[in-house]
Amino acid sequence: MTFSLSRRAATLCAAAGVTVLTAFAQPALAVHAYKAHLRPVAVISDTRFTIDTPQGHAEFPLYLSKDWNVAQPQVTRAVIVIHGKLRNADVYYRTAQNARDAAHADPDATLLIAPQFLANLDLRVHDEPADMLRWTGDAWMGGEAARAPLPIGSYEVLDAIVARLADRKLFPNLRHVVFAGHSGGGQVVQRYAVAGRNIAALTGEGIDVRYVVASPSTYAYFDASRPNAQGVAAPFDAAQCPDFNQWKYGMDNRPPYLDDRSPAQLEAGYAARRIDYLVGGADDDPQQSALDRSCAAEAQGPQRVARAMAYYAYMQSRHPQGLNQRFHIVPGVGHDGARMLTSVCALSAMFGTEGCEP
């Protein structure tokens, strides 16, 4: 496998102060020390989505720009924006509104959705009903089951949202569905593009589905290779990090939601997805506070720009024909969800605007 960049990408990398060789120089392994997500959220949405299962029902909070319990024939596009580790869905909902307005998208034709995956600690300080879904820490980021009240996984929550959008009685004219996330939300979107079971409910109705993966700390690899110092995928020495290929970094010990499909099947489905990878050109700090610096993460590169470049090159090398995925560096932007999700290329992917060069 060889690593190559388009002339435009190379120019952007240079503008951002990133070179292929230095971007992939591996630092000493470090422990992820980010603690901000261990504080309770300030706000929990008062809009509820009831998720029914054979074991019972649970409530899930989310922000909606329209009442999706009644028919919305004017809606042609739904944009699902997923928060990061801070679980601050209110902030991401406002960012989605700003992105919609920047794209001059018709509010009547656009449904904005911002799910909120809560942690146990959030319900210790907020007076919420016992049937509210909550997870241990950030387990929701990897698709794990909720701690209470029922073992519903975060991907199953997204499946339930998909099922609602696929209901032609509610959304008879829906044509586009976009999943977008930044940082921890970008991790969720990338893994859901790998894992999601229910997407055929949309595509079978002729609905275009797209994913915007912005500046995640890590990606799910499909085999045991990882980028070497030159950013080229190569066999990885597991002695350096025995857990490097555990889910959500790789395919080992996947949660039950993914057990019915092999890594090859998951990869085939993922390679067919329409995905835009975005990373800020200045998001290249190997000590950035929210960066995952576990050894499994460091095996993918020292910082977000390096990891993003390496993963896109990895997918290109494994699928040289027919890969419907694009990679964009947003010049001058660091780890900033609002700026990333309102960038030209994010708006193009989310709302179909022009101006994002391939």
pLDDT of residue 36: 59
pLDDT reading at 27 higher than 50: no
Classify residue 358: in a domain, yes or no.
no
Which string of DSSP letters, residue by residue, matches 35-70?
-GGGSPPS---S-EEEEEETTEEEEEEEEESS-TTS
| Residue 225: partners with Cβ closer than 8 Å, 6 or more residues away | 233, 234, 235, 236, 314
Residue 128 domain boundaries: 7-351
pLDDT (mean) for 71-83: 98
Tens of pLDDT, residue by residue over 322-353, are 899 999 999 999 999 999 999 999 999 999 99
Task: Name the band, by pLDDT with cuts 50, 70 and 90, for residue 55.
Answer: confident
Tens of pLDDT, residue by residue over 224-241, are 999 999 999 999 999 999
Classify residue 48: in a domain, yes or no.
yes
Torsion of CA 156, 339, 31, 140, to 10 degrees: -10
pLDDT reading at 164 higher than 80: yes
pLDDT reading at 313 higher than 70: yes
pLDDT of residue 271: 97
pLDDT of residue 358: 72
pLDDT reading at 141 higher than 60: yes
pLDDT reading at 12 higher than 50: no
Classify residue 1: in a domain, yes or no.
no
Please state, in angstroms and rounded to a whole number, the distance separating the CA atoms of residues 42 and 287: 26
Domain count across the chain: 1
| Residue 218: partners with Cβ closer than 8 Å, 6 or more residues away | 187, 248, 249, 292, 296, 297, 300, 307
pLDDT of residue 309: 98
pLDDT reading at 19 higher than 50: no
Determine contact, residues 342/205, Cβ cutoff 8 Å.
Answer: no
Classify residue 11: in a domain, yes or no.
yes
Classify residue 72: in a domain, yes or no.
yes
pLDDT (mean) for 157-178: 98
Classify residue 2: in a domain, yes or no.
no
| Domain CATH number, residue 75 | 3.40.50.1820
